[in-house]
Amino acid sequence: MTSLPVAPDTFHVFDTTLRDGAQQEGLRLTVADKLKIARHLDELGVNFIEGGWPGANPNDTAFFAAAADGELELHHAELVAFGFTRRVGAKAADDPLVQALIDARTPVICIVAKSHDEHVFRALHATLEENLEMIRDTVSHLVANGRRVFVDCEHFFDGYKSNPAYALECVRTAAEAGAEVVVLCDTNGGMLPSQMGDIVTAASAIGVDLGVHCHNDTGCAVANTLAAVDAGVMHIQGTVNGHGERTGNANIITLIANLQLKYGWSLVSEASLREATRISHAISGITNVPPNSRQPYVGISAFAHKAGLHASAIKVDANLYQHIDPTLVGNDMRMLVSDMAGRANIQLKGEELGYDLSDRELAGRITDVVKQREMDGYSYESADASFELLLREQLELGDDFFEVLSWRVLTGHEVKPEGDSEATVKLRARGEVLAYVGEGHGPVNALDMALRAALKQAYAHVDDFELIDYRVRILDQGHGTDAIVRTLIDTTDGERTWTTVGVGTNVIEASWEALYDAYRWGLTKRAVPVG
């Protein structure tokens, strides 16, 4: 087995979520969003935060002004302003966008420079020598203004394949003009890991510190970055959650976790790494891009186990089916209950929920019930609360908070502020028969209103329960309107959120079942009666 490289003393982690990450389709970050994300990145322990392109748009200019005026206190990272080399035929000292970089008042500036001969000719409309002069002039001007300068060599790998001598000349020119790090960019993201090493090694001969910036168009951004690390780069660029132009950038959390936990390098503190899951999810909240449940290390499914064989080994030792201890990155192991479960899943899930299911016969019986109900359309892996209720029924725990005597719902065209549907629910709770009418927007809302109104007489706190999401899925699509449907309802009481499931050929019946479970589960957790 090949040994892993040793960490260079001055290895940098450079985050570009606020610049290249923001180039993702559909993503728009306000100044306040950028300030919040920068604070999270600082907590994560990255060395550099590229904040955007001052002068290119008022938002980014305002972000750097806010940061310089004291709204961003970084404890660990340094803020970086991004821009490009001066315009063709101009002077760096006279170029307003170069001046905007200096005006951003950051200690570090990263400029992007062309390094692919075809791009110089066809995109820049310049000669090869003029492009070198643009790099030389811009870097030396920024250095003369007291800035540390990094240079992103755009399309470096493709440029090297087209004209290796010129691509290397761009790196050399940047280094000689005073760039501290020259970053080799796979701008189009077309590289493969096996192609990275030789090109990085060729650039290493120049003797400047090298970095790497990879896009994910071949699905290899992280692998390509690691291949460049193996070949000697000492600066890696990436974005949280892999945000970025097209298919995104190398995921910086995956990179940090790999280098820290697999290479054994110490890039961020152990405590910061344990915040990785929280930070990834917090940044998803700010970008308004839902978290990828299958994201390595920090996705909610990264340590979720569904298959019976996995669970039976995990019962012996969790490490038998996990590549790391999830708590190292602030994540948790989760056991899923489904028709692929064996006794072990049920026992481990029971343990997670606080029930002793060590009796093999009992666990086997519950497994059989789960498999049959999954066959009927239920899905317990997405409805923990309904699974717990099923468990409690099998354990005969006697949850008799209320008994439904009847329910019905009418829906029509009447336009009223209370809604277009009316439901009646009759139930027995704490020895009393309670019948209530609820009005709502749609039959499920009306049923919720009626059930809540009745239950409130016996258990006042059900008023805290709020239905926050409702999803319907048709299970046998060929059947048209008589198909079996599954409904999932998410409910919260402000402290916790739980999910329940219902199934039926009638969408209202399926919804009622999920609703009924939602109230039952809430009551089992906080059964405080009125009076």
Ligand X SMILES: CC(=O)SCCNC(=O)CCNC(=O)[C@H](O)C(C)(C)COP(=O)(O)OP(=O)(O)OC[C@H]1O[C@@H](n2cnc3c(N)ncnc32)[C@H](O)[C@@H]1OP(=O)(O)O
Q: Residues 37, 72, 100, 124: which binds ligand X (CB under 6 A)? A: 124
Q: DSSP state, 174?
A: H
Selected from 18, 112, 446, 503, the binder of ligand X by CB under 6 A is: 112
Q: How far is the CB of 401 from ligand CC(=O)C(=O)O (least distance, A)?
A: 58
Q: Identify what 87 binds: ligand CC(=O)C(=O)O, ligand X, none; CB under 5 to 8 Å per kind.
A: ligand X
> Rounded to an integer, what distance in angstroms lies between the CA atom of residue 389 and that of residue 514?
11
For ligand CC(=O)C(=O)O, which is the closer residue by CB, 152 or 517? 152
d(CA 469, CA 498): 10
Region binding ligand X by CB under 6 A among candidate stretches 51-59, 159-167, 339-347, 488-496: 51-59
Q: Which is nearer to ligand X, 96 or 529 (CB)?
A: 96
DSSP secondary structure code for residue 478 in this structure: G
Q: How many helices (H) and strands (E) does the chain have?
A: 18, 16
How far apart CA 47 and CA 8 sit, in angstroms, is: 14
Q: Give yes or no for residue 154 binding ligand CC(=O)C(=O)O (CB under 6 A).
A: yes
**48 or 407: whose CB is closer to ligand X?**
48
Q: Check binding of 157 to ligand X (CB under 6 A).
A: no
Residue 158 binds to ligand CC(=O)C(=O)O (criterion: CB under 6 A): no
# binding residues, ligand X (CB under 6 A):
15
| Rounded distance between C-alpha atoms, residue 155 and residue 166, angstroms | 12
- Alpha-carbon distance of 13 to 279, in angstroms, equals 16
The count of other CB atoms within 10 Å of the CB of residue 84 is 19
Residue 187 found at the interface with ligand X (CB under 6 A): yes
Q: Which of 113, 153, 231, 409 binds ligand X (CB under 6 A)?
A: 113
The tokens describing 134, both together, are 């643009």
Q: Per CB under 6 A, does 114 bind ligand X?
A: yes
Nearer residue to ligand CC(=O)C(=O)O within complex by CB, 21 or 326 = 21
Contact of 255 with 236, CB cutoff 8 Å? yes
From ligand CC(=O)C(=O)O, ligand X, none, interface partner of 124 (C-beta below 5 to 8 A by class) = ligand X
Nearer to ligand CC(=O)C(=O)O, 112 or 370 (CB): 112
Instruction: Identify the CA nearest to 54 among candidates 82, 96, 76.
Output: 82
Name 239's Cβ contacts closer than 8 Å, sequence gap at least 6.
15, 16, 17, 20, 21, 248, 249, 250, 251, 252
Binding of ligand CC(=O)C(=O)O at residue 213 (CB under 6 A)? yes
Identified binder of ligand X from the candidate list 28, 30, 32, 57, rule CB under 6 A: 57
Give 502's Cβ-side CA count (13 Å radius). Answer: 22
- Residue 100 CB, shortest distance to ligand X, in Å, is 10
Question: Does 152 engage in binding with ligand CC(=O)C(=O)O (CB under 6 A)?
Answer: yes
For 146-246, where are the alpha helices, taking DSSP H only? 156-162, 164-176, 193-204, 221-230
Beta carbon nearer to ligand X, 85 or 284:
85
The answer to whether 10 contacts ligand X (rule: CB under 6 A) is no
CA pair distance 22, 281, nearest whole angstrom? 17
The enclosing H or E element of 331 equals none
- The answer to whether the CB of 479 falls within 8 A of the CB of 453 is no
CB of 56 to ligand X, least distance (A): 4
Residues contacting 326, CB < 8 A, separation 6+:
302, 303, 332, 333
213 contact, one of ligand X, ligand CC(=O)C(=O)O, none, CB 5-8 Å limit per kind: ligand CC(=O)C(=O)O
CB of 494 to ligand CC(=O)C(=O)O, least distance (A): 43
Please identify, using beta-carbon distances, which residue of 224 and 260 lies nearer to ligand X: 224
Q: Which of 187, 241, 367, 421 binds ligand CC(=O)C(=O)O (CB under 6 A)?
A: 187
Q: Which of 308, 470, 471, 476 is nearest to 376 (CA)?
A: 476
Between 20 and 517, CB nearer to ligand CC(=O)C(=O)O: 20
Determine the Cα–Cα distance for residues 269 and 272; give it in Å rounded to an integer. Answer: 5
3-state secondary structure of 336: coil
Q: Which does 349 bind (CB under 5 to 8 A by kind): ligand CC(=O)C(=O)O, ligand X, none?
A: none
Report the distance separating Cα 104 and Cα 66, nearest Å. 10
Q: Which residues contact 359 (CB under 8 A, 6 or more apart)?
A: none
Min dist. Cβ of residue 417 to ligand X (A): 48
Paired strand residues for 429: 432
Structure tokens that stand for 94 in this block: 């006279």
- Helices 343-353 and 384-394, axial angle in degrees (round to 10): 100
Burial class (CB in 10 A: 0-12, 13-18, 19+), 496: exposed
Pick the closer one to ligand CC(=O)C(=O)O by CB: 53 or 521.
Answer: 53
- Residues from 440 through 459 that contact ligand X (CB under 6 A): none
Out of ligand CC(=O)C(=O)O, ligand X, none, what residue 341 binds, judged by CB under 5 to 8 A for its kind, is none
- Binding string to ligand CC(=O)C(=O)O for residues 96 to 115, with x set by CB under 6 A, is what? ----------------x---
Binding site residues, ligand CC(=O)C(=O)O, CB under 6 A = 20, 112, 152, 154, 185, 187, 213, 215
Binding site residues, ligand X, CB under 6 A = 53, 56-57, 84-85, 87, 112-114, 123-124, 134, 154, 187, 245
